[in-house]
Structure 1
């Protein structure tokens, strides 16, 4: 551990990272053939209204996909996932609700977990313009962690019913320091980043063992019978790969793993960086197919 594990230091670094990222976030220019039909909405949660972007499918909708962006719980914005959301609306035929959940250190764990769960409850209501009974949730990186947490809350609280949870290169063990996690040389996630993210999100190290924060740690992956079916996507060179693989194993034991897809030769955030647009298209097509199957089953 370094000085970055001190909450007041991690908070300052996280705020600086957030300010820099806010000026730099622009979506990759992917899928120009998909224009996207969007509108800004507000989703009620126990922590107050949450902004979101609603993506409409081009034809009759089959269901709804609630998306949570990545960014280590401290940076990022919904616009970063715009290519994915446009692709899902177009090719899976679903409405996509792209959430602007609260970020740490301003709002810490478990606030965003509860916001995503509340968004699912809202999206499942019968008065929506989509079939709320055909509900999916997913996210990339930190958003994948929040999708897993919201699915766990739905299991604990008896709803809403979720047709599919998509966990795309998620952090699922905040107990183990990033420096202790195996990674390829030059891995995107540096140990210092993990230290800042984890500390800003959950300053009390003991609380990081909560199953909502670290579902892959220890015995937290036990007792998953009845949880939403899951698609887990990992990256070969990602520092977070091992914990997602471990959680996929726990989901399989519970009969909840639809598929685990390990993408060869790439690192964390491969789809948000330059290069390999055809790989991104193939993975998104794979993801969209699973979403389409889930909402039409």
Structure 2
């Protein structure tokens, strides 16, 4: 289905005015995990953007840094929804976490947000930061996972900065396939309905959707990824994005750059914010923290 750009932009701007952050069950907020939080500003080629810095329990100076990119269909900017996962990773991986409030579409369309994510990684890796920029990882959920994959790709191609790990949690990795075509029996319908809006707002020019920074799981991108940052890929059985995450995980495995592909049964997109029980969410968060901590601190 082709959505007129003016209509998609109108819907996107209306969505941006909404609360955005789901009502999360108290047990999924991980509010018992202490957090030392500072608001900072990060320069990028597309303007300064705000971020929240979570300091690790053992102090910021010697610890590495993890760049977190929130989801929201490339349209909704609500980094506060990632507070639970950010505080958990900071505390359990002993790492500085930067929760990035990147510029969403239509205010900034593809490839702008990917370039912002990469610029943040470059900035975070600089030697004059409050943390050890030589120890860098990046990750995100949904659209944020797509941006993390794009930033890791640019770092791979530019040979800087060195990213020790990328965490791709139910990422959107193939915009060459229309969202409605991804809907299969047993899959959720919300993204299938909203996908045409999100895709049109983020990348109106369909010819650009075959690019490596937006559809790395698409059939057009065949370059070897040997040497790209090792990845933890997390996909959900009921998510329409599950198949493209699996394809990308297979591609990374072939390149020798897959740490693990976690395939979560019986849950859907955004499960960690939309009602999955704590005993489902906690092991995923713990695995992310373990992968990040091992990537940054193992010798």
Shorter-chain TM range is over 0.9
**Corresponding residue for 1:128?**
129
Instruction: Indicate which of 17, 20, 24 corresponds to 2:18.
Output: 20
Asked whether 1:219 is paired with 2:217, we answer no
- Structure 1 segment 249-264 matched on structure 2, within 5 A: 249-264=250-265
Question: Does structure 1 retain, via aligned residues, the 8 Å contact 2:142–2:170?
Answer: yes
Asked whether 1:51 is paired with 2:50, we answer yes
Question: Does structure 2 retain, via aligned residues, the 8 Å contact 1:166–1:230?
Answer: yes
Q: How many residues align?
A: 294
**Corresponding residue for 1:229?**
230
TM-fit CA distance, 1:188: 5.1
| Distance in 1, Cα, partners of 2:230 & 2:292 | 11
**Corresponding residue for 1:151?**
152
**Corresponding residue for 1:115?**
116
- Structure 1 segment 1-297 matched on structure 2, within 5 A: 1-2=1-2, 5-22=3-20, 24=21, 29=26, 30-61=29-60, 62-185=63-186, 187=188, 189-297=190-298
TM-fit CA distance, 1:114: 0.5
| Distance in 2, Cα, partners of 1:16 & 1:224 | 39
TM-fit CA distance, 1:222: 2.7
TM-superposition CA deviations, 1:231-257 (whole Å, max 9, x none): 100001110000010001111111111
TM-superposition CA deviations, 1:5-36 (whole Å, max 9, x none): 211111111111121244x5566532121131
TM-fit CA distance, 1:194: 0.5
TM-fit CA distance, 1:67: 0.3
| TM-align CA RMSD | 1.5
TM-superposition CA deviations, 1:194-226 (whole Å, max 9, x none): 000000000011111111011000131432122
2:162 partner SS: coil
Question: Does structure 2 retain, via aligned residues, the 8 Å contact 1:222–1:250?
Answer: no
2:201 partner SS: helix
| Distance in 1, Cα, partners of 2:51 & 2:261 | 29
| Distance in 2, Cα, partners of 1:183 & 1:221 | 26
Runs of 4+ in 1 over 3 A off after TM superposition: 24-29, 182-186
User: Runs of 5+ in structure 2 lacking a partner?
Assistant: none
1:203 partner SS: coil
User: Runs of 5+ in structure 1 lacking a partner?
Assistant: none
Question: Does structure 2 retain, via aligned residues, the 8 Å contact 1:28–1:83?
Answer: no
| Distance in 1, Cα, partners of 2:18 & 2:293 | 36
Question: Does structure 1 retain, via aligned residues, the 8 Å contact 2:187–2:237?
Answer: no
TM-score (ref. length: structure 2)? 0.94
